[in-house]
Chain A
Amino acid sequence: MATIIINGQEHTLPEGEKLNAIQMAKRVGVDIPYYCWHPALSVVANCRMCEIEVGSKDPKTGEIKMIPKLVPGCQTPAKDLTVIVTDSAKVKEHQRMIMEFLLINHPLDCPVCDQAGECGLQDYSYEYGQSNHRFIEERIVNPRKDVSSAIQLNQDRCIMCTRCVRFTREISQTGELQVMNRGNHAEIDVFPGHPVDNPLAGNVVDLCPVGALLDKDFLHKQRAWFLSKHDSVCTRCSTGCNISAEENRGQLWRFKPRFNPQVNDYWICDEGRYSYKAANDPALLSAMYLRQNNDLQPAPIDQALKTVGETLGRIAAAGDITAGVLSPFLTVEEAYLMASYIKGLNAANILALGPVPTQGHDRTFTPDQVKGRNGDTSFIVPRPFTIHAEKCPNRKGVEAILEHFQGEVITWGDFEGRAALGDFKAAYVASDAIDPWIDNERAASLRSKVEYLVVQDTTVTPLAERADVVLAGATFAEKAGCYVNANGRLQYSEAALPPRDGSLPDLDVFAILLHRAGGPVRSQEILAELAEAVPAFRAVAGGRVPEFGVSITEPARVGVAPFPFNDPWNESRVQVGAKNA
C-alpha cells in the first residue's frame, strides 16, 4: 500500500496498482488536465498540459521536499510518499500559458467543427484557459487534407499531441501517420499512396483530442450535444467491443468505442464502427406479414402472433415436430425465451443454431512495447485486440442455452440435412442477422420440406419471401440484452433506438407467444430467470451484469481490471454507463 499526498490530503493506493499522477489524482476526484497522454499509449510528455508540482515526504521526519520545477504528471509515478500539488498558483499559471500557446495558431472555428462539444481545447479553455489573447501576429494556416478515404485531417486544428501517430505505431503497427516538418510548421501526414487504411484506422479520430482528425462519414452531420449515447455492444464480430451507440431523431449517427479492459480496451475496428448503418436501412421490415392467397400480406402484430401461436400449438398437439432455429444474433434472453417456448410446445421439438457467418481469419493486434516511439511504455499492460473471423455476437451464448435445453448443439448444416429428410413439420427461424444469410436455392429447398414456416427477421430475405408468417424483429440497435463473446464474456447491450413502427422486439414476441403476464418484458427480468434456470449463467444472478461484463466460460484476461480512465472531454459517454450500472 502506498500513501500519496495530493493537494495536502493523504490518499492510499493499494499494492500492485501502477498509476501515474494523472490517474492517481483522478482516482480521488482531482483532475489534472492533459492532452498527449493516453493510458494505452507510450508516455511522451510533449503537450506539457499536465504539469504539476511534485515532491516527496520523508517517512521519518515528515518533511516535504518539493522539486523546484514543474514536472509532467503523466511521467510521475504515484509512488509511496509522493507529494502532488495540482492547484497552486504556479500550476494554474502554467496551464494558462499552455492554453494560450495551443490556441495561438488554432483557427477557433468551433461553430463549424465536428469536435465542438467533446473537444479538449474547448473544455480546457473554459476550465484552465484565459479570455485574453496576447498574440497579434499572423497565424499559421495549415492545410486541410485527407489521410484516407474515410478520414480527414484539418491540420490547422492539430495540437501535435502525436496520439494518432503513436496509435499507428504502437497499436495497429501500420505506421501510416508521421510528423513532417519542424517547429510550429510541423504537420501530421501520410506518405503519398499510403493512406491510414488499416482495420483500426478510425480509432485515430477518437483519439484526437481536438477536431483535427475527422470521420468523413460523420462530418457535418450532427452536433455532438444532440446525440444521446447508449452503452452498447458491437454485433459485427464475436469480439463484442463495447461501444457507445449515438442516436438523434430516431437514427444512429455513429459508434464510438467504450473502454473495457477485458475486451476491446479503448478501440473498435472500422468494420464495427460503420456497422451502425444497417440499423438505419430504409428497407428494414416495417410490418408483420401473413401468407394469404399465396401472397404475403401485411397484418396487424397481434393477428400475426396469434396465428403463429395457434398454428404451432396445433402442430404440437398433433404430436408433430417443430424445429426452432436460433441465430447467433439473438441475445441470451431472447434465445432463452425462444427455447423455452419451442420446447414448451412439445418436448420432442428440436432446437438448432442458425448460420454462423465467418469471414477470413482472426486478426490480432498485439501492442508493441519496444519498437514504438521514444516514449516510456514501461507502465502499460499490453492487451491485444482481436478482430474475429466469426461475424456474429452471440454464438457462445446461444450454444450454452441450446446445450441446456437439449444437451447438444445442432448446427445449421445438420438442421438443413434433417429438414431435407422431412423430419420437421414446421420451422420457426429467428435470425436478425446483419448481412444476407441465405440464398434462393437453399431457401426454396427448406421451404419445400416444411409445411409451416415462420421467419423472424429484420430484412426481407429469400427465406422470408417464402414464409407463411414473417415477424418483424428488432435490429441490434433496437434490442436490449446480453451477448457472450468469443472469450466467454457476457456483456449487456442497451437499446439505442425504439422499435421500428410495425415491428416488435424479439423478446416481446416470445413473451407474447409464451403468454407471459405483465406486459412488455425487461431483459433484466429474463436474465435473472435464465441465471436461475441455467447453471452456465449463474454468474449473472438477479440479472445484474457488472460494468465490464462477466466471464461465464473462461477466466478473465485481466485479473484486476485496471482503473477505468477516459478522456475528460469524452466523459459524457462514460456517464451513460454509470447510469445503468
Chain B
Amino acid sequence: MAEFEPVLSRNWNVTDGHTLKVYESRGGYQAARKALTTLDPDKVVGIVKDSELRGRGGAGFPCGLKWSFLPKDRKETFMCVNGDESEPATFNNRILIEKDPHQFIEGILIACFATKANTAYVYLRVEYFHAYKVLEAAVAEARAAGHLGKNIYGSGFDLDIWLHRGAGAYICGEETGLIESLEGKRGWPRIKPPFPAIEGAFRKPTVVNNVETLCCVPHIIERGAEWFKSIGTPKSYGPKLYCVSGHVNKQVCVELPLGITCRELIDKHAGGVWKNRKAKAAVPGGISMGLLSAEELDTPLDFESLRKPGCLGLGTAAVTVMDEHTPIIDYLYNCARFFAHESCGQCTPCREGTGWLYKMLKRIKAGGGRLEDLDIMANMANNMGIMPGTTICGLADGAAWPIKNGVAKFRAELEEYIKTHQDPAYGATTLQAAIAKGAYAVPHNGLPPVINSVPTAGALRSPHSA
C-alpha cells in the first residue's frame, strides 16, 4: 500500500486555510465544478456508490446506496447535514468545519447536485459557536463567489445552505430527531418506515448525512472511486478522522486509513497512555459503541472488525482510553448518567431502562450493590434498543452497549467492587431479603423466568442479611 496521504485534513495547518482564497488556490471547488459541469447527478451517485463510502455519523450506512433510495419521481429534495456531533469524546466535525469550511461546503454542493436537493440545512450543535461563525462566513463567501446560489457554474443547478443551531440535545443527532427539531418540534425520533429518503423534513424526500461523510465526497469525485477503495480495509474504505481522548499523553484528531488498530492509534498517534501507565480499556468509537478490554486493543477500528469483541460498531471512531487506575464502575456510572439524561423519553424501555440503570449504578457505586444487580443490568441491556426491536432509535442500544460489554468483560472487578464496598446505610429491604432467600423462585404464571431472572439464593450481600 502506498504511503497514506491525508486529504480531509490537508488544509488544517495551512495559514488562512478556512478562507475561500486559500481553499481555491489549493485546488478547491474543482471537484464541484467537474461534477456540475461534466457529470449528471446519477453519474455522481454512481461514483459515490462505487467508492463504497460508508456514513461517518455512526451507523456506517453506504452513502451512495442511501442516495439511491430517493424516489425517482420526487419534486423536491432536502439535504440535512448532521453536525450535531454530541457523542461524547467526538470532535472531528468541529475541526472539519472550523479549519476547512469550504471543503465541507464543496461536499454539500456535490451531494446536493447528486441528490437534486436545492436546499441544504446544516444542523449544528449549539455549543459549536466558533464553527458556526466560521461556517456562516464561508457560506457568505461561497455565495458571493458563485459556488452557491442560482445557476451555479452555468449548470442550471441552484443551491442554498441554511445553518440551523440545535439546543443541546444529544437525541437531535439521530436523523429523524434532527428532522423533527429542524421543523421546530420537540426532538423525538420518528418511527421508520417511512425513512427520510421517502418522507423526511417537511414530509419531503430528505437525505441526512454526517459532516465528515460529505467532506469525503469532493475527494472521491476528484480522485475517483478506485483511489478511495485503495485506502482502508475490506468493506471499510477511505480515510477516517480518529479522535483520541482520555488517559493519553496527546489528545488528538488524526486522519488515518480506516482499519488502524486501537493500540497503534494510542501508541503511535496519541503518545501512549499517560503517566507511563497501562491501558485498562478503551471506548472504540464514542461511548455508545461499548468497551474494548486491554486484550482487545489490537482490534482494527473499522466498520466490521469491532463486532468480534462484542462492540456495537465503529460509531464515530472517537477513542477514549482508560488507564489501569480507572474503576469500571465509574465508567458504567458515567455512561448510564449520560444516557439517562439524554433519553428523549419516548420509548418505554429506553425511558425507564436508562433511568433505572443510572439509579442502580449510583447505588452500587455508593455501596448498596447486590450481586444480582449485575444480572438485572445485563438482562435489561440485552433487551433494549433497535437491535432487539424494542425502541424507536439507537440511543437505547448505545445505552445498553457499555453495560453489556462492561458487565461481560469486567464482571470479576464489578463483583469485587460490590463485595468490598458495602455501606451499612443500604440495608436490605424485606422484599430484597425475601428474593434472596428464593421465596419467589417459582414463577407464578408458568412462564419462563427469564425477565424476572430470580437471583440465586443467598446472592444478596448486605451487612444486614448475613
Of residues 150 to 186 in A, which have CB atoms within 8 Å of B's CB atoms? Answer: 159-160, 162, 178-179, 181-186
Would B191 and A43 count as touching, CB distance under 8 A? yes
Query: Contact at B383–A94, with CB atoms within 8 Å?
Result: yes
Cα A132 to Cα B345 with chains together (Å): 24
CB pair B359 A137 closer than 8 Å = yes
Residue A553 CB within 8 A of the other chain: no
Residues of A within 8 Å of B376, CB to CB, are: 134
Question: In this assembly, does A51 line the interface, its C-beta being within 8 Å of a C-beta of chain B?
Answer: yes
Q: Is the CB of B169 within 8 A of A101?
A: no
**In the complex, what residues of A have CB within 8 A of residue B104's CB?**
none
Q: How far is the CB of B206 from chain A (nearest CB, A)?
A: 13
Say yes or no: B349 contacts A97, CB within 8 Å: yes
Whether A160 pairs with B432 at a CB distance below 8 angstroms is: no
B185 touches A104 (CB 8 A): no
Closest residue of chain B to A179 (Cβ to Cβ) is B186
Beta-carbon contact of A160 and B345 below 8 Å: yes
Contact A184 B347 (CB under 8 A): no
Could you say which residues of chain B place their CB within 8 Å of the CB of A184? 340, 343, 345, 351-352, 354-355
B345 and chain A: residue at smallest CB distance:
A186
**Can you name the residue of chain A whose Cβ is closest to the Cβ of B385?**
A69
Whether B348 and A46, one on each chain, are in contact in the complex, defined by CB atoms closer than 8 angstroms, is yes
B356 adjacent to chain A (CB < 8 Å): yes
Q: Given A69-B387, A134-B376, A182-B343 in contact, is the A102-B432 Cβ separation under 8 Å?
A: no
Instruction: State the CA gap A105–B340 with chains docked (Å).
Output: 14
Which residues on B sit within 8 Å (CB–CB) of A131?
A: 440, 444-445
Provide the residues of chain A in CB contact with B118, threshold 8 Å. Answer: none
CA distance A519 to B244 in the complex (A): 93
Whether, in the assembled complex, A460 has its beta carbon less than 8 Å from a beta carbon of chain B, the answer is: no
User: A130 touching B388 by the CB < 8 A rule?
Assistant: no
Q: Which of B62-70, B254-262, B389-397 contacts A (4 or more CB under 8 A)?
A: B389-397
Q: A45-B392, A48-B391, A94-B383 are in contact. Are A374 and B447 (CB under 8 A)?
A: no
Q: What chain B residues lie within 8 Å of A93 (beta carbons)?
A: 447-448, 450-451
Query: CA A100 – CA B387 in complex, angstroms?
Result: 20
The yes or no answer to B412 lying at the interface (CB within 8 A) is no
A sample of 6 cross-chain residue pairs with beta-carbon separation below 8 angstroms, ordered by A number, consists of: A44-B191, A101-B352, A179-B186, A183-B351, A183-B354, A375-B191
Choose from B343, B360, B450, B452 the contact partner of A183 (Cβ within 8 Å). B343
Q: Is A140 an interface residue, CB under 8 A from the partner?
A: yes
Q: Is the CB of B356 within 8 A of A104?
A: yes
**Cβ-neighbour of B388 out of A69, A75, A92, A374 (below 8 A):** A69
Nearest-Cβ distance from residue B223 to partner chain A, whole angstroms? 39
Contacting residues of chain A (29-68) with chain B, CB-CB under 8 angstroms: 43-49, 51, 67
A51 touches B450 (CB 8 A): no
> CA of A555 to CA of B190 in the docked complex: distance in angstroms?
38
3 shortest interchain CB distances as A-B pairs: A69-B389, A186-B345, A184-B355
Q: Are B429 and A101 neighbours in the complex by a CB distance under 8 Å? A: no
Q: Is B203 an interface residue when CB atoms closer than 8 A count as contact? A: yes
Q: Mark B400-444, 1 if CB is under 8 A from A, else 0.
A: 000000000000000000000000000001011001000010011
Q: Which of A's residues lie within 8 Å of B, judged by CB? A: 43-49, 51, 67, 69-72, 75, 89, 92-94, 96-98, 100-102, 104-105, 130-138, 140, 159-160, 162, 178-179, 181-186, 370, 373-376
Q: Which residues of B contact A75 (CB under 8 A)?
A: 191
**Nearest B residue to A70, CB-CB:** B389
Q: Any chain A CB within 8 A of the CB of B180?
A: yes
B344 touches A (CB below 8 Å)? yes
Is B326 close to A, CB under 8 A? no
Which chain B positions have C-beta within 8 A of A72?
191
Name the CB-closest residue of A to B375: A134
- Complex Cα distance, B176 from A373, in Å, reads 12
- Asked whether, in the complex, the Cβ of B191 is within 8 Å of the Cβ of A101, the reply is no
Residue among B203, B341, B355, B452 making CB contact with A132, cutoff 8 Å:
B452
Query: How many angstroms from the CA of A51 to the CA of B391 in the assembled complex?
Result: 10
Q: A302 to B171: give the CA distance in the assembly, Å.
A: 75
Using a CB–CB cutoff of 8 Å, the interface residues on chain B facing chain A are: 169, 171, 176, 180, 185-186, 188-191, 194, 203, 340-349, 351-356, 359-360, 363, 376, 383, 386-392, 429, 431-432, 435, 440, 443-445, 447-448, 450-452, 454
Which residues of chain B are near A374, meaning CB under 8 Å? 176, 180, 185, 188-191
Chain A, Cβ-Cβ closest to B357: A137
Q: How far is the CA of A183 from the CA of B359 in the complex (A)?
A: 13
- A47 CB contacts on chain B under 8 angstroms: 347-348
Q: A182-B169, A183-B342 are in contact. Are A70 and B388 (CB under 8 A)?
A: yes
Which residue of chain A has its CB nearest to the CB of B368?
A136
Beyond contacts A93-B450, A136-B431: 18 other A-B pairs, Cβ-Cβ < 8 A, are: A44-B191, A45-B392, A46-B347, A51-B389, A51-B390, A89-B450, A96-B447, A97-B390, A102-B352, A105-B352, A130-B451, A132-B452, A133-B431, A184-B345, A186-B345, A370-B203, A373-B185, A375-B191
Q: What is the chain B residue whose CB lies nearest that of A102?
A: B348
Cα-based distance from A48 to B352 in the complex (angstroms): 12
Chain A residues near B452 (CB, 8 Å)?
96, 100, 130, 132, 134
Q: Are A45 and B349 in touch, CB under 8 angstroms?
A: no
In whole angstroms, how far apart are the Cα atoms of A216 and B435 in the complex?
Answer: 41
Nearest residue in B to A71 (C-beta to C-beta)? B389
Instruction: Flag if B389 contacts A135 (CB, 8 Å).
Output: no
Checking B185, B351, B390, B429 against A186 with a beta-carbon cut-off of 8 angstroms, the contacting residue is B351
In chain B, what residue has the closest Cβ to A127? B445
- Chain A min CB distance to B231 (Å): 33
Decide if A98 touches B176 in the complex (CB within 8 Å). no
CB distance from B439 to the nearest CB of A (A): 10
A90–B387 CA distance with the chains assembled, in angstroms: 14
Shortest CB-to-CB span from A128 to chain B, Å, is 10
Residues of chain A with a CB closer than 8 A to B190's CB: 374-375
A-chain residues with CB within 8 Å of residue B431 when the two chains form the complex: 133, 136
Question: B345 — which chain A residues lie within 8 A by C-beta?
Answer: 160, 179, 181-186
Cα separation A130 to B450 with both chains bound (whole Å): 12
Query: In the complex, A8→B440 CA distance in Å?
Result: 34
Complex partner residue of A98 from B188, B203, B348, B445, CB under 8 angstroms: B348
Q: How far is the CB of B348 from chain A (nearest CB, A)?
A: 5
Docked complex Cα distance between A135 and B344 (Å): 21
Residues of B within 8 A of A69 (CB): 386-389
- Chain A CB within 10 A, most for which of B191, B340, B360, B391: B191
Residues of B close to A96: CB separation below 8 A: 447, 451-452
Known: A46-B347, A160-B345, A183-B344. A97 touches B451 (CB 8 A): yes
Look across to chain B and name the residue whose beta carbon is closest to the beta carbon of A178. B186
Contact B448 A104 (CB under 8 A): no
CB distance from B334 to the nearest CB of A (A): 16
Q: Which of A67, A132, A179 has the most CB of B within 10 A?
A: A132
Q: Which residue of B lies closest to A75 (CB)?
A: B191
Using A96-B451, A138-B359, A182-B341 as known contacts, say yes or no to A376 and B348 having CB atoms under 8 A apart. no
Question: Given contacts A43-B191, A94-B383, are A183 and B355 in contact (CB under 8 A)?
Answer: yes
Residues of B within 8 A of A46 (CB): 346-348, 392
**Which of chain B's residues has its CB closest to A69's CB?**
B389
Q: List, in ascending order, chain A residues with CB within 8 A of B356's CB.
A: 101, 104, 135, 137
Q: Which residues of B contact A44 (CB under 8 A)?
A: 191, 346
Shortest beta-carbon distance from B388 to chain A in Å: 6
A160-B387 CB under 8 A given contacts A132-B440, A184-B345? no
Complex contacts, A159 vs chain B, CB 8 Å: 348
The distance in angstroms between the C-alpha atoms of A98 and B390, with both chains bound, is 9
Compute how far the CA of A183 lies from the CA of B355 in the bound complex, rounded to whole angstroms: 7
Residues from chain A with a CB closer than 8 A to the CB of B360 are 137
The reply to whether A101 and B349 contact each other, CB–CB distance below 8 Å, is yes
In the assembled complex, the CB of B379 is this many whole angstroms from the nearest CB of chain A, namely: 9
CA separation between A478 and B183, bound complex, in Å? 52
- Residues of B near A70 (CB, < 8 A) are 388-390
| Most chain B Cβ neighbours within 10 Å, of A100, A137, A162, A374 | A374
Q: How far is the CA of A140 from the CA of B358 in the complex (A)?
A: 13
In the assembled complex, the Cα of A97 lies from the Cα of B180 at a distance in Å of 29
Asked whether, in the complex, the Cβ of A89 is within 8 Å of the Cβ of B447, the reply is yes
A185 CA / B341 CA spacing, docked (Å): 9
CB pair A104–B352 under 8 Å, yes or no, is yes
